[in-house]
Every structure is written in structure tokens, then in C-alpha cells.
Amino acid sequence: MFGYVRYDMPNLFIKDFSLYKAMYCGLCKSIGASCGQMARMGLSYDMTFLSALLHNMTGTDVKIERQNCFEHAIRKRPIACVDGLTEELGAFNTLLVYHKLSDDERDGEKKRGRRLWFGRGYRRAKKRYPALTALVEEFMREQERAERAEETSPDRAADPTARMMRDVSRHFLGEKASESSDELFYALGKWVYLIDALDDYDKDKKKGGFNPFVRTYGSADKKTLMKEHGDDVGFLFDTLFYSLREGLSGVKFFFNRDLTDNVLLRGIPLETMRVMNGDAPVKMSVRI
Amino acid sequence: MDGRDPFAEVYGLLEAGDEDGAQSALDGIEEQSAERNYAQAQIYLKKKWYAEAGAQLSFAMEKDPGNEKYRKAAEELGAMAREGRKAREGHSAAREDAKSLAAECCCECSCELCVSGICEFFSG
């Protein structure tokens, strides 16, 4: 589920890149504050993006200060200050990591050690944010049911994760949630699920793990899938991009939206093309 | 038959935003007509299940090829996909342009930003 939300570097302003880095470090500290130091290992760009998006949509200003952290103990760097929203997002990150590892373990992967590593953080998140935990766990159960169902398709299989993202956005946005934000987050959740499934096509085909693309099309490998059903797969993502754009156009932002627009309108389509073409992941780190 | 449109309830519930209710009402209709596929497509469109909606519209048009309403709905869905496709393919082309721009920039200047940032990104 993690690691696909990326920005499009050549079209990212330096101010936004600096903000993203500060928010990445801020989220790391927030995970430490809400779930303990061990849970910081689950930090992801995906959640950093969500943090940037939700701060903007809720009108929560990001305060940046020069601070130290254990990775940058000597030289201070700009880091977004910990706030209530980031702490809860840190807990959301920990809940997702823990469930992802549990899911992998159920699929026969050797993830027990890693799951236990996040166990304490998961328990802290559960205790501190019961409503968020209940929401995540309800959709995790629905996801499991959807993957066991006889009748499946990429649309159906992605629905629980997409609805989870929609409901999580409602949870964070409160009165600021709207039909447009629902559409935006549903599309985002659906994309996250489907891009992961498409990327894992060969692995799931070989190991027999659930994959909606394998179940629907059954091609021998991803390359063949794209050759035989590329138009169908393209249609699935293209309508999703339409939905993302539609949702985005109706959402109210309180601050500059260049960073989130870069990810949603450029980074996500580019990452989709990369996975569809079977190219290697692009390195995210840049020193400026 | 009492002459009522069996799908009116489905469309009414859909209009009111009750997708689950509309699905239950549709499940209660035994008629396997093109209109049923069209109604199912409308429910899927509301749920943002666009691929499933597309399949249902194809079935509807196969059963009733001359129906203008089905054709129009399928065209609208196709237009949405074409609009989305621009995002996927347009930005890929733009990125290729940006890559060559970065390469040209490196030949002409050697500012720290260019060398340590953009070039490292593309070489990585």
C-alpha cells in the first residue's frame, strides 16, 4: 500500500520541496509523539502527502522551526512542528503499517518480526485514537471480505480501501468535508489499492496471493496483461484520474496548493505510467 | 403488469443518493432487459465503479443497439476516460521535455542547484 504517492520533481517548486521535507520530518516526530520511537520506522511519503493535503483543507497552518532530531543531531534543519493533526496522522500511519504487515503475514510472508516491531505503536494508537482505529479496522475487515468474495473486479476489490480513505477524510475534515472531498479521497484510496495490485501482479500470480487484476484477467504476467488488456487497465486508471480532477476542482484550499496539485495531477499519473510500463521506481531523495 | 415503469423506483432512489436502496430495488426486478443493464450502469457510476459501469452499458447497447440514451451514456463515460488519459500521457511527455531541459541546462551552467539536485535526481 505504501510508497507510490510521489511528486513530479522537475515540476516541483523549491519552496514546495522544502515544505515537503519539513513536513516529512515533522510527521516522523509526530509518529514518535503519538505512537513511540519504534513506530517512526513506518514513516512514508504517502502519509506526508496526506498531511500536506489535510493541513491545507482544514486550514491548519504548518509552523516550521529549525530543530534537531536523532538523524540530524548536529545540524538543525527546518522541521514542521508537531500538531494535533499530524499526531493523529502519525497514528493512522502506524495503524496502516501494522495491518499491512499482519496481512502480509497471513499471506505467508515472513513479516512477524516487523509486525511485532510496530505492536507497541499500534496499541498506543488504538488507545489514543479509538474512533480512528475502529474506522480503519472496520474497513480492513471489509477488505478481507471483498478479497474472499466469489465475484470480483478491480472496482469491487478497491472499494473498501477507497471508502476507508473517504471516511478517514470525513473524520479529519469534519464540517469541511464535502461531496468533492469525498470524490477526491475515494479516488485516491482506489488508486493506492490498484497501483499496488498492478505492481504486485507478477508476485501475486506466482505465489497465488489475491490480486484483482490476476483474478479478472488471468494473463500469464504483467507484461502480457498490458499487451492483452492494456486498454481496460488504462480505462480503469483514466476514469480514476478524471475523478481525482473533478474532486480536486470542488475542494476548498486555505493555503497555496502547488505541492498537493503536483502530486495529484502529475506525480500520481506518472507513477501509474511507470508501473504500467514496468519501469524501476524513481529515486525520491534530492539534495538541494 | 400494472403499466408502471419497474425501473422508476431504482432511478428515484439513486436520485435521492441511496445507492444501496437502488441496488436492492434493481435486484428485485426479474426482467433481464437492456434497461436493466443501463440502470445497473447508473448505480455503478454513482459508486464510481467506472469499469463495471462501462461493461453494463456495453451489454445494454448490444441488446438495444439503436437506443440513444445508452449510446449517450457510453459516450460520456468514454469522454471522461479520454480526459483522464490526458493527465497520464500528457505529463509523461512533459516529463521527457523536462529531462532534456535539465540535460541542456547542465551543459550550459554548473550552478550548485542544478548539479546536486536535478542531475542527481535523473541519474539516480
Calculate how close chain B gets to A152, using CA atoms only, in Å. 10
DSSP, collapsed to helix, strand or coil, labels residue B62 as: helix
Contact B52 A286 (CB under 8 A): no
Burial of residue A56 (CB within 10 Å: 0-12, 13-18, 19+) is: buried
B8-94 is classed CATH 3.90.1710.10 = no
Please give the angle made by the CA atoms of A156, A262 and A264, to the nearest 5 degrees.
Answer: 10
Residues of B in Cβ contact (< 8 Å) with A264: none
- Which chain B positions have a beta carbon within 8 Å of A156's beta carbon? 49, 52
Do the beta carbons of residue A76 and residue A67 sit within 8 Å? yes
- Cβ distance B91 to A162 less than 8 Å, yes or no, reads no
Q: Interface of chain B against chain A, CB under 8 Å?
A: 44, 47-52, 54, 77, 80-85, 87-89, 91-92, 94-95, 98-99, 101-102, 113, 116-118, 120-121, 124
Instruction: Determine how many CB atoms are found less than 10 A away from the CB of residue A27.
Output: 28
Instruction: State ipTM.
Output: 0.89
Domain-wise residue ranges, chain B:
8-94
The answer to whether the CB atoms of B87 and A269 lie below 8 A apart is yes
pLDDT in tens, A186-214: 999 999 999 999 999 999 999 888 999 99
Residue A21's pLDDT band, with cuts at 50, 70 and 90, is very high
Task: Write the DSSP symbol of residue A151.
Answer: S
Bridge partners of residue A66, in order along the sequence: A78
Which among B52, B77, B82 has the least Cβ separation from residue A153?
B52
Q: What is the pLDDT of residues A37-60, one digit of tens each?
A: 999 999 988 999 999 999 999 999
pTM of the model: 0.89
